[in-house]
Amino acid sequence: MYDFDSKIDRHNTNSVKWSGAQDRYKNPDILPMWVADMDFASPKEVIESLKNTATNEIFGYSLPPTWNKELLKSVRLWIKRRNEWDISFEQLGFSSGVIPALSFAIKATTAENDAIILQSPYYGHFKTLLDDTHRKLINNPLIQNEYGYELDLDDFEQKIVDNNVKAFILCNPHNPTGRVWSENELISLAKICEKHDVWILSDDIHSDLIMPGYNYQPLAKIFKQYADHIITFKSVSKTFNLAGIQSAYYISENLELLEKMKKIRDESFNPELLNSFATPAIISAYSFGDSWLKSVIKYIESNYNFADNFIHTELPKAKVANLEATYLVWIDVSYLNISEEQLLKHLDDAGLGVETSSEFGLTDPHKLFIRMNIATQRENVELGLKRLKEALS
């Protein structure tokens, strides 16, 4: 029903992933498998809704999303259907992206020089956020095991106490390791935060991209007693390959906090108004996208199984973390005993554009990792793996 093998030429389309790769890497023949967007066409219903919007021929200010009942209903029904989580319209806020929304939340819950805890390896823009808002980063490293990563709860609590931490940015599911945190793990984290009065800012942007056999749970749903201290951030951007539409939303039972975030948002560069295409994209994706999403997850799972088998066979010293969610494969290549700069040169020379350790807050010179985006045609995955093998050899 869906043809994810057909290539779409993304050169000269103003794509960060493809056109931007020419500025990021030296090799003109680079295969970009770095930034987190897919090389798949979005659902046809979404594309049709955007075409219909374009036929209006006028692109004035859009209705504020909190005034648009159809938009609010589509988000609410999606959350209820996918996550069995019943939220009200009043619990929703909107922004052009999760990162700007996180910025509002940081400013609403903490003050300059306050400590905020992250769990490395972490998404690099989290650190940028803390730098830009003049907050102090406290690192609680995840523990690497044979299959991937687990929480270090003792260190988490000790870091909170020692540094008077005010907020915690949770990544659920986790980018870049691909972990889907279990209900017990999430509740353990939340109980520590509750004990020490720590706000939880939960980035759940990848929560629709869950591999078969795993179960995502929104923390605010499963730990109701602390829900007024939790803000959950979601978007259609990763789920339906709509990052360029620039839309996101956030959920909290704390209406006073939402009002405070709204005030900060309206005083900033990023008011609530979404662009002309964002609202129809969200409504159509959430109304008609289930079948497409099920199929794309199956395709990504197949790509992962292929990649995992290839690396296990051709690069047996490398370690691939179990992919429980996202389309980002996390590969430990510490056995190479080379610097990150040397690794990047070998990868660039081989024509493979990926992201590596330091972009995820990892600074140990003896540990070396690669994040590889496999949400692309199988032909590209095969070529990328061949280039990976060439680079590491």
Mean pLDDT of 67-73: 95
Instruction: Render 54-116 in DSSP notation, one character per residue.
Output: HTT----PPPPGGG-HHHHHHHHHHHHHHH-----GGGEEEES-HHHHHHHHHHHH--TT-EE
Number of separate domains in the chain: 2
Backbone phi, then psi, for 372, in 5-degree steps? -125, 125
pLDDT of amino acid 267: 80
Residues 133 and 39 in one domain: no
Strand 369-373 relative to strand 319-320, pairing: unpaired
Do 254 and 188 lie in one domain? The reply is: yes
Q: What is the pLDDT of residue 269?
A: 60
Q: Are residues 199 and 87 in the same domain?
A: yes
Residue 220 belongs to domain with CATH number: 3.40.640.10
Structure tokens at 226: 């602390």
The enclosing domain of 341 has a CATH number of: 3.90.1150.10
Amino acid sitting at position 240: F
Per-residue pLDDT averaged across 174-187, rounded? 98
What is the spatial distance between Cα 166 and Cα 163, in angstroms, rounded to a whole number? 9
- The residue among 335, 392, 288, 315 whose CA lies nearest residue 74 is 288
Same domain, 247 and 385: no
To which residue do tokens 């540094």 refer? Answer: 163
Residues 332 and 268 in one domain: no
Average pLDDT over residues 75-95: 97
Spatial contact of 124 and 361, defined as CB atoms under 8 Å apart:
yes
Query: pTM of the prediction?
Result: 0.97
Cβ within 8 Å of residue 258, ≥6 positions away: 90, 91, 93, 252
Q: Is residue 49 situated within a structural domain?
A: no
Q: What is the pLDDT of residue 343?
A: 98
Nearest to 174 by CA among 148, 139, 194: 148
On whether residue 14 sits in a domain, the answer given is no
Residue 12 in domain: no
Output the pLDDT for position 188.
Answer: 98
Q: Which tokens go with 9?
A: 């030429």
Q: What pLDDT shows up at residue 22?
A: 85
Do both 248 and 331 map to the same domain? Answer: no
Range of the domain at 119: 60-287
User: Which SS3 state, helix, strand or coil, does residue 244 take?
Assistant: helix
Query: Domain for residue 203, yes or no?
Result: yes
